[in-house]
Amino acid sequence: MGLFFGTDGLRGKVNEDLTFDIAYKIGNALSILKENPTILIGSDTRVSNTYLTLGVASGAMSGGAKVIDAGIVPTAGVAFLTREIKADYGVVISASHNSGEYNGIKVFNSDGYKLGDKEEERIERCFIHEKTNDFPNIGTFEQDFTLIKQYRNFLINSSENSLEGKTIVLDCAFGAAHRIAPEVFRKLGANVIAANAVYDGLNINNGCGALYPENLVRRVYRYKADMGFAFDGDADRLIAVDENGRIIDGDMIIYGIAKYLKSKNMLKNDTVVGTSHTNMAIEDNLKNNGISMIRTDIGDKYVLAKLLEKNLSLGGEQSGHIILKDIATTGDGILSAIMVANMVINENRPLSSIIDVVPYPQTNKNVIVGDKFRIMNSEELSKEIVKYNGELEGKGRLMIRASGTEPKIRIMVESKDKTLNDSIANSMVSLIKNINEEV
């Protein structure tokens, strides 16, 4: 992770942390790393997207790049289209699950994979040292909003079955999925109830989508739906709800898909990739089904790196980033939802009986801080972490980490005893707040 890039690209409040100048420098840096590149840009629905798209495009064009603006496209769609049109880079303008005042920049390589830490550091070096590429011949800019049709057709063709007869609720979070997700599921024959499925960048992720699945629960109940799917702003996350209104997070979805793929002899090495945050119950239940799990650091790019290293099929995060590596190069909420719907069709039983795992209680808390790195290096904090992990040994765990995208310290306590989890988490919140005041 570099000075500017976090676990999922570069992100911040527009015109405070993330400015036109930074966007320009990132675009220009890409024209330094490769001569006369072709760069595809896609975005979610935020009001700042045109502003930052033009920033990246201007910097890239000043270095001689050909820039293609594909308009509103989910993150996974940009990765897919970058490969399809043989672009050198794909750039996503999105702050994913964050609210409308935030935005971000993610970069994919020509194979549709997110840039690794070393590649991001190369970009940073270009603009930290004010290195610019002013090519004698300015590059070009064009808009092609029809490209998304290729991604839409890919999603439709990924389904083994018609979804006719199934009622499915979609919460599109006012984001990049707002048009394409309902269209794809209707083309597949489902009776679709679409919520928060209009172009509204001001309200993106606002009390809706993958971060607020309780709204999806209410709609599944109201419409007596077979299942519901909630996406985030750029549609790379998926949280599901079964026919009984039970929320199914990313860990649980991975568990269900892993069992399904194994039953079809399509789960390579009978192994999946999770993260340090993956619920212990998922690992235990996978093991009971003859499936191993490898843990990585939190961040879907680390999950992907392990999938590629070990040549595995499936991995992801509790937050709903799910990578079906044999089909796609990055997390794709819509593709994952299609997979889950097909599981229901092929097994001819309700989602609740397919994904029947019961996760151990987790208490998650976030503390906004001034300097998250100084706090993480605090000796006082380290001692408390060691103490509580000693108390939880064999029955649970405590995790403290700095957010990769926000000025927050994240706390997770997991065990079968929710009261104990809450007590430890609250103690850690108080400690972190005290340390924050001191630093």
Catalytic residue annotation: 96
What's the rounded Cα separation, in Å, for the pair 45 and 49? Answer: 7
Q: How many CB atoms neighbour CB 328 within 10 A? A: 19
Q: How many CB atoms neighbour CB 284 within 10 A? A: 12
Which tokens hold the place of 184? 């794809």
Nearest to 361 by CA among 322, 392, 406: 392
CB 39 within 8 A of CB 129: no
Which tokens hold the place of 119? 């590649």
DSSP β-ladder status, 271-275 and 238-241: unpaired
Residue for token pair 């999922």: 8
Burial class (CB in 10 A: 0-12, 13-18, 19+), 118: exposed
What's the rounded Cα separation, in Å, for the pair 430 and 392? Answer: 19
Alpha-carbon Rg of the chain, whole angstroms?
A: 22
Long-range contacts of 83-86 (CB under 8 A, 24+ apart): 83/110, 83/111, 83/112, 83/329, 84/150, 85/38, 85/40, 85/147, 86/38, 86/110
What's the rounded Cα separation, in Å, for the pair 246 and 228? Answer: 10
